[in-house]
């Protein structure tokens, strides 16, 4: 059994634990911005293919005391790197965290790279080239509490980049955050799902993929583990075939969104097309003031502009008031969830929230507010 760590946005650790357990991971424990778990190679591939919340799945190689740059160099050299990469493989190192003396991630990454290529040169007379974009092997070093953890990054590019979204609106949600918000809303595929401010469609798309049991990793061009020395192509192909066979043909209920901006709706259509589900999702151009409920009940989930990334806007207060009125008047029987990073604006909605859950959107602490609409 290998030891893995799934990295996730701050605050989503317990959701990450639940998702990993559901995928069959063993000994799952929450950690800082992630969760550790145990499993075999099949599980590693499966989590990369199916998990909707994490950024990366790291395979732990070693952990050691580390206070100085020499400790880091020597500790990394204790690992037999010939098991993981050969001189004709390209390499990149990512460093995160810090300890007292080692507080520059760039320096720490360089030190790890130097230790690896030094070992290679001694053993083979040649060394791996560095490729920071698409290396064959990406090494991750995490420093915390005078300890270093060295891992291989099995995902490559962050898993939130599903590959279906070349096109994004002005302030798109990360796919993994959209999926986490859907989990937090408790939405089930037999309920209608609607985003009245859908932008490039991330929330309806993530709901659609879940409803159709489509693995979120199916649209990616590559995963880090595909260029590892121990890559098992027949196992990977079998998991891809199995995932494709498990897809459903139809949604159990309405899923869609509206936006006033025709350009972002073109992006939403193009993203849905990339997923092969354009014919199942509904995207319509509508001013918020003209939006009607697409069903008698369901889950409404949206992230309105909140003045951080789309620029401060003096009309935003009136916009939030309008949003509250539309919910109150047209969505009786629904449960609405609104994520906002602006407390002052969210109080102008004029509805009493049933709960507020703190959620990070990047570095910004937001609230996911729940409204029961009677
Ligand atoms: C923060 S973005 C939503 C991003 C979206 N979740 C995504 O992932 O792409 C807010 C969206 O609200 C839309 N919007 C703003 N004011 C609107 C209005 N009055 N009526 C309809 N849509 C509006 C904008 O066009 C924008 O696409």
Q: Which residue puts its alpha carbon closest to atom 1 of ligand 1?
A: 305
Which pLDDT value is given to residue 311?
44
Same topology between domain 2-153 and domain 175-215+255-372 = no
In ligand 1, which atom is closest to the CA atom of 319? 19
Which pLDDT value is given to residue 213?
98
Whether residue 197 has its Cβ less than 6 Å from ligand 1: yes
Whether residue 171 has its Cβ less than 6 Å from ligand 1: yes
| Per-residue pLDDT reduced to its tens digit, 96-112 | 999 988 999 999 999 99
- Under the banding of pLDDT at 50, 70 and 90, the label for residue 315 is confident
Residue 144 main-chain phi, psi, to 5 deg = -160, 135
Ligand 1 mean position, distance from CA 209 (Å): 21
Domain ranges of the chain: 2-153, 175-215+255-372
Ligand 1 mean position, distance from CA 205 (Å): 15
Mean pLDDT is lowest, of 165-174, 246-255, 345-354, for: 165-174
The secondary element (H helix, E strand) that includes residue 267 is helix 262-275
Which pLDDT value is given to residue 163?
86
Q: Which residue puts its alpha carbon closest to atom 7 of ligand 1?
A: 172
For 119-137, b/e burial (b = at least 16 CB within 10 A) is bbeeeeeebbeeeeeebbb
Whether residue 12 has its Cβ less than 6 Å from ligand 1: no
Residue 113: other Cβ atoms inside 10 A: 20
- Under the banding of pLDDT at 50, 70 and 90, the label for residue 170 is low
DSSP of 119-134: HHHHHHS--PPB-SSS
Residue 276 has pLDDT above 60, yes or no: yes
Say if residue 140 is exposed, middle or buried (CB neighbours under 10 Å; 0-12, 13-18, 19+): buried
Q: What superfamily would CATH give domain 175-215+255-372?
A: Vaccinia Virus protein VP39 (3.40.50.150)
Tell me which architecture the domain covering 2-153 has in CATH: 2-Layer Sandwich (3.30)
Distances (CA, A) of 346 to 29, 38, 320, 321: 34, 41, 7, 9
The C-alpha atoms of residue 183 and residue 180 are separated, in whole angstroms, by: 5
- Under the banding of pLDDT at 50, 70 and 90, the label for residue 314 is low
**Mean confidence (pLDDT) of the chain:** 94
The pLDDT > 70 percentage for the chain reads 97
Query: At which residue do the structure tokens 């962050």 appear?
Result: 158
């Amino acid at each position: 059994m290998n030891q893995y760590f799934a990295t996730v946005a701050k605050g989503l650790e317990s959701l990450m634990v639940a998702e990993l357990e559901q995928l069959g991971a063993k000994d799952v424990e929450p950690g800082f911005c992630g969760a550790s778990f145990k499993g075999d190679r099949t599980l590693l591939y499966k989590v990369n293919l199916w998990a909707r919340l994490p950024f990366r799945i790291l395979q732990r190689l070693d952990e050691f005391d580390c206070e100085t740059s020499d400790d880091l160099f020597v500790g990394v050299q204790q690992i037999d790197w010939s098991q993981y990469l050969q001189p004709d493989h390209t390499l990149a190192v990512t460093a995160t965290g810090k300890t007292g003396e080692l507080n520059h991630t760039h320096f720490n990454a360089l030190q790890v790279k130097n230790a690896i290529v030094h070992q290679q040169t001694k053993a083979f007379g040649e060394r791996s080239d560095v490729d920071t974009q698409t290396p064959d092997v990406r090494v991750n070093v995490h420093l915390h509490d005078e300890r270093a953890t060295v891992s291989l990054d099995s995902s490559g590019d962050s898993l939130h980049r599903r590959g279906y979204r070349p096109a994004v609106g002005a302030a798109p949600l990360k796919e993994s955050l959209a999926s986490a918000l859907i989990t937090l809303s408790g939405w089930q595929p037999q309920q209608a799902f609607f985003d009245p401010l859908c932008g490039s469609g991330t929330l309806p798309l993530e709901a659609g993929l879940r409803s159709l049991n489509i693995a979120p990793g199916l649209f990616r061009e590559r995963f880090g583990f595909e260029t590892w020395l121990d890559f098992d192509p027949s196992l990977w192909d079998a998991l891809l075939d199995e995932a494709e066979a498990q897809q459903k043909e139809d949604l159990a209920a309405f899923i869609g969104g509206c936006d006033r901006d025709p350009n972002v709706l073109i992006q939403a259509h193009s993203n849905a097309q990339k997923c092969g589900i354009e014919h199942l999702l509904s995207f319509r151009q509508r001013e918020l003031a003209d939006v009607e409920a697409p069903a008698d009940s369901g889950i409404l989930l949206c992230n309105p502009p909140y003045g951080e990334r789309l620029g401060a806007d003096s009309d935003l207060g009136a916009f939030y008031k309008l949003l509250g009125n539309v919910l109150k008047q047209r969505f009786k029987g629904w449960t609405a969830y609104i994520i906002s990073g602006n407390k002052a604006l969210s109080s102008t909605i004029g509805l009493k929230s049933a709960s507020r859950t703190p959620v990070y959107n990047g570095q910004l602490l937001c609230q996911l507010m729940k409204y029961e609409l009677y």
